[in-house]
Amino acid sequence: MVYNNNLIACIKVDGKVLREKNSSVELPFGTEYTIMLKNLNSKRAVVNIEIDGQDIGNGDRLVINPNESLNLERYITSNHRFKFIEKTEEISDYRGDRPDDGLIRISYSFEKDKPNYWNPFDPWFPQWYKFSEVTYDTHTNTPISKSGWVSCDSNVNCDSGEWTTQNCVYRNESNSDNKVNLNCINNSGITVPGSKSNQQFEHINNIETENEIHVIVLSLVGCKKQNDQIVTVQRPILVQTKLTCPTCGKKCPSNDNFCPRCGTALN
């Protein structure tokens, strides 16, 4: 589980949070997973996710309401779940190798603060309509014109509200300047479309965000080094999973880096 700038990100399998070590998450090949995001800010978060260097929304962004979470299980552009598979030699020969294979890049920014001044033209405020009317002076019978602004909560048939939901997206052009160069050390696994998902999304209006963009990167690992050998991960490592020391066999908490009995590195 990674926390950065008021956003939590983690990988889940079967509804359980996986353990993360140095931004790497171990899970077996052939596993379907979800990406859990929780917005701890008081403002909405606009999130873009790239998996293996590919934008999962093709320009669409996820919107997470303040103090709410989203368990993302599928691509925005298709109704297939995320599935992590081994990148075999045949796959590499057909699709090629990409420097960010195995990486999940989560970039996000928060909604701009609403201005503290009144401006009927500002999109943060309800839509306003200009009106004009003419009355007559009761004594001189001369016309008197009057004009002003009326909001949508007056006796005007208009719709200014913006409907939002936890699982929503809005269309926006991606900015290639926001990408970063990533050197991936794990080239053994990639994410592909898995089984069908019923998760739904709704489009909302564009949201004006702050200029600062935050980034979280997670690496999915299907192979690991153990006793000087490269072995495949047999089961996902959960946050509550205890680690077994390969030297003395002691069961250790999952957040331990070294065995408290013999000092052997546990990862």
Stretch among 92-106, 164-178, 215-229 having the lowest mean pLDDT: 164-178
4 φ/ψ angles, rounded to the nearest 5 degrees: -155, 120
78-99 average pLDDT score:
92
Q: What is the mean pLDDT of residues 190-199?
A: 94
Q: How confident is the model at residue 105 (pLDDT cuts 50, 70, 90)?
A: very high
DSSP the chain: -EEETTEEEEEEETTEEBPEETTEEE--TTEEEEEEEEE-SSS-EEEEEEETTEETTTTEEEEE-TT-EEEE-B-SSSSEEEEEEE--HHHHHHH---TTTTEEEEEEEEBPPPPSS--TT-TTSPPEEEEEEEEE-TTT--EEEEEEEEETTSS----------SSEEEE----GGG------S--SEEEEEEEE-----EE-----B-S--EEEEEEEESEEEETTEEEE--S--BTTPPEE-TTT--EE-TT-SB-TTT--B--
- pLDDT (0 to 100) of residue 108: 96
Percentage of the residues of the chain whose pLDDT score is greater than 90? 38
Lowest mean pLDDT among 19-28, 163-172, 230-239, 251-260: 163-172
Which pLDDT score is estimated for 164? 35
pLDDT of residue 159: 42
131-141 average pLDDT score: 60
- Check pLDDT > 90 for residue 81: yes
Give me the residues paired with residue 230 across strands. Answer: 225
Mean of all residue pLDDT scores within the chain: 77
Compute the C-alpha angle 261/264/267, nearest 5°.
125
- Asked whether residue 137 carries a pLDDT value surpassing 50, the answer given is yes
Decide if pLDDT at 106 tops 90. yes
- Residues 266 and 204: their CA atoms lie apart, in Å, by 46
Task: Please say if the pLDDT value at position 63 is more than 90.
Answer: yes
Residues 74-103, mean pLDDT to the nearest whole number: 92
Dihedral pair phi/psi, residue 31, rounded to 5°: -90, 135
Q: Regarding predicted confidence, which is higher, 135 or 182?
A: 135
Please count the other Cβ atoms lying within 10 Å of the Cβ belonging to residue 62.
24
Of the pLDDT bands very low, low, confident and very high (cuts 50, 70, 90), residue 126 is low
pLDDT at 177 over 50: no
For residue 110, is pLDDT > 60? yes
Q: How many CA atoms within 13 Å lie on the side-chain side of 41?
A: 20
Contact 213, 50 (CB under 8 A): no
To the question of pTM greater than 0.75 for the whole model, the response is no
Distance of CA 241 to the CA centre of its chain: 26
pLDDT at residue number 216 = 95
Q: What is the CB neighbour count within 10 angstroms for residue 220?
A: 27
Per-residue pLDDT, averaged over 159-182, amounts to 41
Strands 24-26 and 214-221 turn out to be parallel
The model's pLDDT over 195-248, given as tens digits with 9 standing for 90+, comes to 999 998 888 888 899 999 999 999 998 877 666 666 677 776 665 566 778 788
The CA distances from residue 5 to 12, 40, 208, 229, in Å, are: 21, 9, 18, 37
